[in-house]
Structure 1
Amino acid sequence: MSRFLLLTLLAVSFGASAIVIRDDVDDAKYRVPASEFPALADLHGEGHGVLIAPRWVVTAAHAAQIRQITINGIPRDVKRLVLHPGHKMPSQRLLDQALATWDWTLFRVLLASSDDIALIELTEPVTDVAPAAINKSGDEFDQVVKIMGKGATGNGVTGYEFSDSHRTELRRAYNKITSADGRWLCYIFDKPSDALPLEGGSGSGDSGGPILIQTEKDWILAGPTSWSDPQSAIRTPGRYGQISCNVRLSHYSDWIESIISGQPQAGANNSFKPTPLRGAA
């Protein structure tokens, strides 16, 4: 495994598995058909996004690609990628230090200060799937959320290995938001004694996937999956106690609207990227 790939995996695999599940609940109870959330976009190989307008998909910046993406089982061509200007990636030096000492403090500081959000513009509008509505109210704290993804999977006792497949079957799980402010909304993967009936967490391959909050009418998008705290994983991602943080879309609603409307905010990075970006988590 290359150092560059390892950096990506650590930045979000310690971040984002096709849902890691409780060890005392049958995996079949977590699996759902694609019809559960048709607005889910599959990025090339691994990672996700969510259709939020006929031509636009939101995802985590570290997972963003310009390759063809799939929505509702149909490949869709990409016109351009818009990265938030505040997106950052950890340096090789910082990664090396963290791997040598397992002190991830500065690594976490950098991840927490990054704007890990991107928009993908499609060549043609999607007409066969209704876009997901975005939560703009900023009321995420203490709410139960539904998380979804097709990445690596495991359970809270064993976690999962970095070498496990990052594209499996679609699963969904639930969790409760334990903190929400500024860029992030986070939750803890609790042990069964403190967990929801179908509690779970995210991991490698789920980056960019949906974090959904239920309203009176429907589930709406609170954010895409982003990263997990490496220190909380105790050297093995996906175990009980892992803290996962996700992009808080209510914080970015003005930026999203400015890009989609064609009137970007000052300093925004709207350039088309001619080559695929980093692998997804």
Structure 2
Amino acid sequence: MKALATAFTILLPLGLTARASTILHTVDPQLYRDEAALYPEVGSVGGSGNQGSGVLISDRWVLTAGHVADFKTGGSYSIGGNIYTIQSYVTAPDHPIFGVTNDVDLLYLSSAVTGIEAATMWRFDNPADLLGREATWVGFGFGGDGLTGNNFSPEKRAFTNVIDGVTPNFGLPGPSFYSDFDNPDGTTNSLTSGSATATRLEGNVTPGDSGGGVFVTVGGQRYLVGINSYTSG
């Protein structure tokens, strides 16, 4: 199986990962689509500039990656089969154009989204609370698997992975966390300090997943803990 990149995610408050998902070639791709359907609060961001994903956090506010909004004028947000016009943007302070520092942005929609419950954000005190947790990454990334690599056909998919580490490792802009792709046969483990065991729907981000959400379940409640930012390797 082809080795894949390490994904980085901005924590909330805040965590980042990257661009679009590549999945296990031994698993039915439909299972990744079915998993994504459980996360209706994740939509796609279109228009000028980068295309990506975004998470609904209230009826008119969408959280996405800063570089998805770079150079974007207008644009649209698609969710639940409906398309909403983006009215304005709020970029995090000190986010450089196409940079990874403070790589988050808020989109304000011209009308309210109805029929979809907004994501609940986890208010944790220490980013290390996430270390070792299995999480679910959701976004509109390129397709492909561990043999083929990513292709140029974006679709909504969700994959699972273990949060292998948090900042300040690798000189990451904080606060961030990261994970890697683990081959079920044990031959691929980019982060030797992290888990080498593949999860049930192991995957990693590829272009298009940027701005999508990372979710954990604690005490039966699902929380948004990160926003996809970038990959390395």
Shorter-chain TM-score tier: 0.7 to 0.9
Q: Cα distance, 1:217 vs. partner? A: 2.7
Question: Does 2:157 align with 1:171?
Answer: yes
Residues 141, 180 of structure 1: 8 Å contact kept = yes
Q: Cα distance, 1:84 vs. partner? A: 0.8
SS at match of 2:116: coil
Deviations 1:205-264 (A, max 9, x none): 1111111111223321111111001xx2xxxxxxxxxxxxxxxxxxxxxxxxxxxxxxxx
CA distance in 2, matches of 1:128, 1:34: 17
CA distance in 2, matches of 1:86, 1:41: 26
Amino acid paired to 2:214 = I
Percent of residue pairs bearing the same amino acid type = 30
Kindly report which structure 2 residues correspond to 1:263-274, keeping only aligned pairs within 5 A, or say none. none
CA distance in 2, matches of 1:31, 1:125: 26
Change (3 A) 1:28 1:35: closer
Kindly report which structure 2 residues correspond to 1:114-129, keeping only aligned pairs within 5 A, or say none. 114-129=101-116
Change (3 A) 1:50 1:15: closer
1:21 to 16, 20, 23: 23
Question: Does 2:188 align with 1:185?
Answer: no
CA distance in 2, matches of 1:56, 1:154: 31
Divergent runs of 4+, >3 A: none
Residues 209, 228 of structure 2: 8 Å contact kept = yes
Question: Does 2:69 align with 1:83?
Answer: no
- 1:37 corresponds to: 39
With the length of structure 1 as denominator, give the TM-score of the two structures.
0.63
Deviations 1:122-153 (A, max 9, x none): 12222321110112213211110001122212
Change (3 A) 1:160 1:71: closer
CA distance in 2, matches of 1:41, 1:30: 16
Q: Cα distance, 1:26 vs. partner? A: 2.1
SS at match of 1:43: strand
Question: Does 2:138 align with 1:130?
Answer: no
Q: Which has the higher contact order (CA 8 A, sep 6+)?
A: 2
Answer 1 or 2: which has greater helix percent.
1
Q: Cα distance, 1:23 vs. partner? A: 2.1
- 1:201 corresponds to: 204
Answer 1 or 2: which has greater strand percent.
2
Amino acid paired to 2:28 = D
Residues 43, 49 of structure 1: 8 Å contact kept = yes
Q: Cα distance, 1:197 vs. partner? A: 2.1
CA distance in 1, matches of 2:199, 2:220: 22
Unaligned runs of 5+ in 1: 1-11, 91-109, 233-281
Q: Cα distance, 1:88 vs. partner? A: 1.7
With the length of structure 2 as denominator, give the TM-score of the two structures.
0.75
Residues 34, 72 of structure 1: 8 Å contact kept = no
Aligned residue pair count? 192
